[in-house]
Structure 1
Amino acid sequence: MSDLLDLSELFGDFRDEGRAQLARLDAVLQALEAGQEPDEAQRTELMRALHTLKGNAAMLGLRPMQELVHGVEDAFKRAPEPAVLPLDALHRTATALRHALEAAGAPNQDEVFAPLPALRAALADALAAPAPPAASEAASSADAVAPGDGPAVDEPDPSPASAVPDAADEGARDDPEDAREDGGDATASAALADAADAALAEGGAEAPYDPEAAAPTAETEAAAVAAATPLAEATRRGDAWSGVREETLRIPFARLDPLLSQVDDLARAVEGLRAWMAERAEALRDAGLRRGLGERLEELDTAASAVRRSATALRLIPVERVFSRFPPLAADLARERGKRVRVELHGEGTELDKATADALLDPLLHLVRNAVDHGVEPPEERRAAGKPETATIRLSAAQEGDRVRIEVEDDGRGLDRARILARARQLGLVAVEDQPDAEETDDLLFVPGFSTRLQADEVSGRGVGLDVVRDAVQRLRGQVRVEDGEEGGTRFVLLVPLTVALVPVLFFQAAGETFAIPALDVEETLRAGAPGRVGPAETVDVRDEALPLVRLDRVFGWDPAPDPRFVLVLRRGARAAALGADRLLAQDAAAVRALPAALGGPRGVSGAVVDARGRVVLLLDPGEMLEMNVDLYRGGTGGG
């Protein structure tokens, strides 16, 4: 089988679909914990998602995961009402399933899968136990079941629940729209899940999972073929595929980058043709060709722009795919810390580049963990302050022009700026006589290594590792800042480009060369005044502010160039500078190309773009420009 199929691709599809399916389970559990019962449509969606996940797990031979999902299905089917569901056990099960999903097909699969049978038994025990009088007692009862200590659990009677699918499952198999919604072939997965249910029911009591016993043998392969026979027969008859139309085409994300580069080449060719026609306007007019060629050029330009927008849209995904991972994570962490937290999501439909979404996972994870661990208070402290015992963390997203604004806000203690400033003075970051304003004080939180934590077990303010967050966001050519929340807590604001593939860039000339710089990082462009000096640094006055002057000839060690005629104001946090330019050329969106490996990774350059004439132009990194200029004067090599 491994010779015929790319198992890594199968497991990748399994994980992609499984995350969405487990997100439905997490959403229902969060609603139940908040005292909200799911309606019939939500229950049907959940049962469909679980049934499909179970079928996919069975298809890949992941029996421990298949059985655990089967146990979750049983819990929702057998509970007389949602109020008696064992939420603590289900939360632990959902967490284990998320870990198992990510480990499926990986080298550590057996290690991660080992506790699943014990969790399955614990879930069955929790469901069979009488309804507890309080949630706290339920948690302690569930915690008393240690992995490996649970007794063997008989599979529920297959006739009413397991072997015979319920109405929700029937709907999942009959509705082609629902089949498409789950991504992939939900109908086939449902049929395979039914076959797996039948195999589980025939086996009676569950046997402990043994990874070695689960290794493929002639007998186990024969059993798998037998279990899949109903699906094969349904496929041959056409029943399983009746009415199903595949409307999703899976394309490896890496294939989109060359497509976008080719589309960018097309746009550049159109601009090149426009420039060629402008240079020969008189000759074309004399030949009677100017008007006709101009009309055809405009049509070509319109078509090229439409293709560029479509190609860019292929890379966009809803931010919900990122946000949906955090409610269960925050809930798990809060339970470990003895806190109560609920996560609100807003603007989940906002789209952004998949590469951006992937890169935001780590910084957002850090901010959410930071909010739970350090931002929100324990229930007793919140109660004493007149706040609800359950804290709220809000994740929101909204598009602002060609940027996406993402906020992580909590309703906790808020920023203690006096404490931040005192700690900064203690660390030598701020002189005793200096009195920074609120924005400058907040910016101290992003200094590498800064922390208000004095002891390992002390409840800290903000700042642990926030430099990592800023670095990650700046690599996306974005910005991050911290501010007071609306309800007295803390809000982190991230501004990132809508796409990192097509970047609005400003083309300019300096030191006799043409360069490009991300336009989003340019605060404004101005005519340059006469350079001055503040200490060893050369400066220019910009709106009554003396900004350090960045000369590219000095930064890159070239021959001295004349004073710049223009300056590009760059600002990153509390740091700003004026980048000198001789001529401002144009602003346009361009695809960023990686530099050839032979060039290495020159400092201050983040890639290359192609201008309207088809020439390759270096794309400068604004953050590196600021750092290099500071390093230049620290080294004592600056000067006129």
Structure 2
Amino acid sequence: MPQQEIIAILLSELEEAAAPLAAAFSGIAAAADGSQALRDAIAAASAQVDCIRAAAEAGGLLGLEVIGDRLRDNLQLLTDTGQEQRAASEELLLAWPERVMAYLLQPDSASACRELAQLLCEPAWPLPFSDHEAGLVLELLTAAAAAGGQQSERSREIGPDDVSLTPSGEVHPEVLAAFLDDAPRQAAELARCIHGLERAADLAATLNQARRIAHTLKGAAAVAGVAGVTNLTHHLEDLFEYLAASGRRPGRLLMDSLCEAADCLEAMIDALTGLGAPPANALAVLDSVLQWAQRMDRGELERYDAEPATAPPAYSAPPELAEQPAGEDLAPAAGIQSLRVPVATIDALYRYTGELSISGAQLAEGLARLERLQRALAEQDQVVQQRLFELEDLIDIQDVASAGYRLGPGQSGDDAFDPLELDQYNQLHGCSRALTEAVADWRELSMGLHDELARLRNLLNQQDRLHRALEGTVLAARLVSVRAIEARLQRFVRQACRATGKQAELEIAGVELPLDSELLQALVDPLGHLLRNAVDHGIEAPQERLAAGKPETGRISLSFTRDGNHVQIVCSDDGRGFDLDAIRQRAAERGLLAAADGADAEALQRLLLLPGFSTRQQVTHTSGRGIGLDAVHAAVRALNGTLSLHAVAGQGARFTLRLPTALVTVHALLVEAGGQVVAIPSGDLAHIPAPGSWQRIESPAGLRFQSPDLACPLRPLAAAMGRATPPAPDGSVPPVLLAHIGDAIEALEVERLIGSTHVVIKHFGAMLPRVRGVLGAAILGDGTVAPVLDLTGLLQGPPIAVQPAEILQPPSETLPEILVVDDSLSMRRALGQFLQDAGFRVRFARDGMEAIQAVERQQPDLLIVDLEMPRLNGLELTAHLRGRAATAALPVIMLTSRSMQKHRRQAELAGVDAYLTKPFQELELLATVERLLPASQPA
């Protein structure tokens, strides 16, 4: 619809909304603080503003749309302000429709645009525009007017500033925070739309949804001052609008550019949120999208993109895209108020909650001791009472049985009282009566102590419940769903498919599972290794899959499930599996197995986890340099987890990661094994059989547990811990625990069952080595430190015997090292991130002088140098290296923005091995690096 028609509709809607808006604005100013009338007035005003904003969005009036967003935010903030401030805002609210009307009547009027933009700058607003934001909005308002008159000419030359991800320093922090909160979701949805274009049943709806998302991202990024996102989404929006209007499905070439742009946009957002480095190919991607937009402007898009996208893509969007109605708008974020809190504050709360748990356990232990003392006092009170009764009986018997009744002075026998007529008391009677009263007082105090201890126990139980609630709340603050990394995992597969020319589809199950954010981010790199390995090593080429009777598109599955106190991640594919013959041959060459021919399949597969082990004869960059699995294994071990693998030749491979979840406390069973008190998480236990309900059977294969319902291996827990197993006293049968060990159940003998309690797992830290099968230590209520066991990690040892003398060096020492020399910090970061992801170690130098010092300290395997640098440029650095015998053959790649022939000739004369220009192409750079690396590097 032409913009003039949209403006006419807006004017009509604004005229109809004038009276309701005025009434709502006046009601906001007059309503009492916190009243229902205030909330109703704000809701009515927000609804009218939303209608006008939606119409502005449909007409491409981005400036008016941004102003509508800010007015709506201010209306919501007025809910919590006082009546005085709302009254001060009434004049501004009533002026807003008039300013919008003036702008719509004369959209090309500079004064109308300026007055509308400046209206939201007044300090009476709860959230006014800053001067910088007002300037940006003014540009958007005037740009929309220019666009309505004629199509503005696109830039023909772009530079690094056009892909800058540095937000404007003058943007309001809340505006930037709002953009960073919502941008990852928007970018992920845009990527889903783009990757679903080839299979979308309703192409127009999918294109319109992609256009709306790109439009929203463009506006938000423009206000935040992020030029890179603004420029890329601007051209993408135009392309989507053109395709939707023409009803044309993008061809193969355009589709490839759009998919690469979607991945680049997600990488940009990741860099803005601190989850990664800026994409190294951002300038090349923007240039590609710009070229398509220019062809569209010239009416030549069909000529360049004539090939229809009928062939299957090199990668596929998730299948749920086909089921999701593409025409539906994105669901708005839930209207829940949030507060940005530093991660360090959440971590501190996490630690304090753990310390509170330890203090609570010590208080509970102290109270239990007092209760035991009180019960002992009560028992002693009964003993004293019994002795007192016996004493009184003896005194009474002594009085009655005394020989005769002695008369007092001057008394005759007739005057004396018989013992039965009057009690006679002496000092012994007085002492016994006083003792009886003291015992009664003691009993009353003892009962009072019992009551106070009971009240204290109730308070402690209440405090424990509150602590559990606090613990759950703190943990919830650290939890995010797996969906937070879903887009990055999908991007790993798409990039690997593009690099290898293969076709694969990634299915992720359990994306709603909440996990600790720190654990989730630590899993991104190892999961990326597994996914790239699945594409590069597992999934076959399309022709090979068809010949094997498989679908042309490979399938990779990734599932997340919770198993007690652990999370289990399974990554599987339907590729070629492992080549056991090649593994056996390589193991024999390295001498890793005592008898390689006799090793079973499981033993051979676990060899792939050894540092530096690879069956590849040629180096590839997609999944590293043949050591991706040992890097994954090291990362999983660093998280106190385990990694198991299984493959069937021709049917695919499966990798299972089992990791402990981050918990403040865990319920555990305390037992004694080998003279040591240890804690076993209750989630690892299946059952504790009653004595006499099972039999201990000795067999040639070892001890066995036998019961009517179960037969399984039996072993002493002390032996698994490497401690001596003391004999059972008097030939008694020691207690047994039935535990989940992987997918099986095993019986474990212990010396004593102590009890169950909640414990806080304290990790050992970097100063102590990781102990296999030990999650950490727990401080018990009596101050005892007990190790917390991971039974699966403790009892599932490597199934093969690796000879210690032949163990290869750690992965960090087998990686080729590249020295990046560039005076640009952003280029060093981008190159470093890119090369590290490709499987290389990277060092940095800012100029030629630093590079010479770095080479003298440790000679790298290859240098990537810039041409123009301070102190010593790239040509001088290369000449210096060629002049020394030790570095004369060191490969040097020059990466520069200079592309003229004379620069290439000077580099060749200086001894540069390869000359590449910025912005670099990933595949070209990696191919050059692999070609120039010394042939002695391990494959």
Q: In terms of mean alpha carbon deviation, does 364-373 or 305-314 score higher?
A: 305-314
Look up the match of 1:89.
257
Residues 318 and 351, structure 1, Cα contact 8 Å, conserved in 2: yes
SS at 1:132 equivalent: coil
* Cα pair distance change 1:27/1:323, threshold 3 Å: same
Look up the match of 1:447.
610
What are the equivalent positions in structure 2 for 1:59-458 lying under 5 Å apart?
A: 59-79=223-243, 80-81=246-247, 83-84=249-250, 86-104=254-272, 113-115=282-284, 117-125=286-294, 127=296, 128=299, 129-130=301-302, 132-135=306-309, 178=332, 180=333, 247-281=337-371, 283=374, 286-287=447-448, 288-289=450-451, 290-432=453-595, 435-456=598-619
* Cα pair distance change 1:569/1:6, threshold 3 Å: farther
* Cα pair distance change 1:505/1:37, threshold 3 Å: farther
Question: In 1, distance between residues paired with 2:459 and 2:688?
Answer: 35
Question: In 2, distance between residues paired with 1:588 and 1:361?
Answer: 34
> Which runs of 5 or more structure 1 residues have no equivalent in the other structure?
140-167, 182-244, 528-539, 555-559, 636-640
Amino acid at match of 1:316: L
* Cα pair distance change 1:113/1:336, threshold 3 Å: closer
How many Å apart are 1:11 and its aligned residue?
7.3
Look up the match of 2:193.
28
Question: In 2, distance between residues paired with 1:74 and 1:461?
Answer: 38
SS at 1:490 equivalent: strand
Residues 603 and 624, structure 1, Cα contact 8 Å, conserved in 2: no
How many Å apart are 1:249 and its aligned residue?
2.8
Question: In 2, distance between residues paired with 1:74 and 1:251?
Answer: 38
Question: In 1, distance between residues paired with 2:765 and 2:264?
Answer: 43
* Higher helix content, 1 or 2: 2
Whose Rg is larger?
2
* Cα pair distance change 1:120/1:471, threshold 3 Å: same
Number of residues of Structure 1 aligned to a counterpart in Structure 2: 520
Amino acid at match of 1:259: L
SS at 2:197 equivalent: helix
How many Å apart are 1:422 and its aligned residue?
3.4
Question: In 2, distance between residues paired with 1:335 and 1:102?
Answer: 21
Amino acid at match of 1:601: L
Look up the match of 2:44.
none
RMSD of equivalent CA atoms: 5.2
Could you report, residue by residue, the CA deviation over 1:534-555 in whole angstroms, capped at 9, with x for unpaired residues?
A: xxxxxx967768899769898x
Look up the match of 2:834.
none
Question: In 2, distance between residues paired with 1:357 and 1:53?
Answer: 26
Sequence identity percentage: 30
For normalisation by structure 1, the TM-score amounts to 0.65
Q: In terms of mean alpha carbon deviation, does 515-524 or 258-267 score higher?
A: 515-524
Question: In 2, distance between residues paired with 1:270 and 1:398?
Answer: 32
Question: In 2, distance between residues paired with 1:467 and 1:276?
Answer: 48
For normalisation by structure 2, the TM-score amounts to 0.47
Residues 449 and 465, structure 1, Cα contact 8 Å, conserved in 2: no
How many Å apart are 1:497 and its aligned residue?
2.6
* Cα pair distance change 1:21/1:120, threshold 3 Å: same
Higher-RCO chain (CA-CA 8 Å, sequence separation at least 6): 1
Amino acid at match of 2:489: F
Question: In 2, distance between residues paired with 1:91 and 1:361?
Answer: 21
Amino acid at match of 1:479: T
* Cα pair distance change 1:32/1:463, threshold 3 Å: same
SS at 1:83 equivalent: coil
How many Å apart are 1:506 and its aligned residue?
5.7
* Cα pair distance change 1:427/1:520, threshold 3 Å: farther
Could you report, residue by residue, the CA deviation over 1:142-168 in whole angstroms, capped at 9, with x for unpaired residues?
A: xxxxxxxxxxxxxxxxxxxxxxxxxx9
SS at 1:601 equivalent: coil
1:495 corresponds, among 651, 658, 682, to: 658
How many Å apart are 1:363 and its aligned residue?
0.9
Question: In 2, distance between residues paired with 1:70 and 1:123?
Answer: 12
Amino acid at match of 2:496: L
Amino acid at match of 2:217: L
* Cα pair distance change 1:73/1:634, threshold 3 Å: closer
Residues 364 and 781, structure 2, Cα contact 8 Å, conserved in 1: no
Q: In terms of mean alpha carbon deviation, does 372-381 or 544-553 score higher?
A: 544-553
